């Protein structure tokens, strides 16, 4: 089995400098404003953005369902790369790894999110049951909208 059997790759160009896009991942005041698919909100329980640090949060679905979530930041290379482990809890045997890369693309940033699941079956379940591809795209769209609105606000417009 190859990683391709177990992965989802989503990319998005964000009309903002990569330092600003990267910053949107580093501070909970930013993450809580855009993280998650359309209609979801985020409540952070604890947040420590450093290698080995955790982000414990709840995603609130538009139907009222709450999803407990946990992320451990594995590797952080500002402003170009974040590697993380994501599950429901610290001891989740089905936790998956994601690598986010931030590449300057002119005045914009090309963000690529590569997620690798422990098994093909877990990847397929994430796609079919949890709509991971569409949800990932919506999350990156929310990030882009948040970052560009933040830029406009900072510029006074």
Tens of pLDDT, residues 58-70: 999 999 999 999 9
Tokens of 136: 């990932």
H/E element, 10: strand 7-14
Spatial contact of 40 and 60, defined as CB atoms under 8 Å apart: yes
Sheet strands side by side (includes 81-87): 7-14, 108-116, 96-105, 81-87, 66-77, 54-60, 41-47
Tens of pLDDT, residues 80-89: 999 999 999 9
Beta bridge partners of 104: 109
Tens of pLDDT, residues 106-143: 999 999 999 999 999 999 999 999 999 999 999 999 99
Bridging pattern class, strands 108-116 and 7-14: antiparallel
Nearest CA to 72 among 81, 80, 82?
82
pLDDT over 60 (residue 1): no
Question: Average pLDDT, stretch 18-36?
Answer: 93
pLDDT grade for 154, boundaries at 50, 70 and 90: confident
């Amino acid at each position: 089995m190859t990683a391709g059997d177990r992965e989802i790759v989503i990319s998005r160009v964000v009309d903002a400098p990569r330092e600003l896009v990267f910053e949107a991942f580093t501070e909970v005041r930013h993450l809580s404003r855009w993280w998650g698919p359309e209609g979801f909100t985020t409540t952070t329980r604890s947040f420590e953005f450093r290698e080995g640090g955790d982000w414990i949060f709840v995603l609130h679905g538009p139907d009222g369902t709450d999803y407990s979530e946990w992320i451990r930041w594995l590797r952080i290379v500002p402003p170009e790369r974040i590697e993380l482990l994501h599950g429901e809890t610290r001891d989740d045997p089905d936790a998956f790894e994601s690598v986010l890369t931030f590449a300057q693309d002119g005045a914009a940033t090309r963000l690529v999110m590569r997620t690798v699941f422990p098994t093909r079956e877990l990847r397929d379940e994430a796609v079919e049951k949890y709509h991971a591809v569409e949800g990932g795209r919506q999350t990156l769209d929310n990030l882009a909208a948040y970052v560009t609105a933040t830029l406009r606000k900072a510029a006074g417009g």
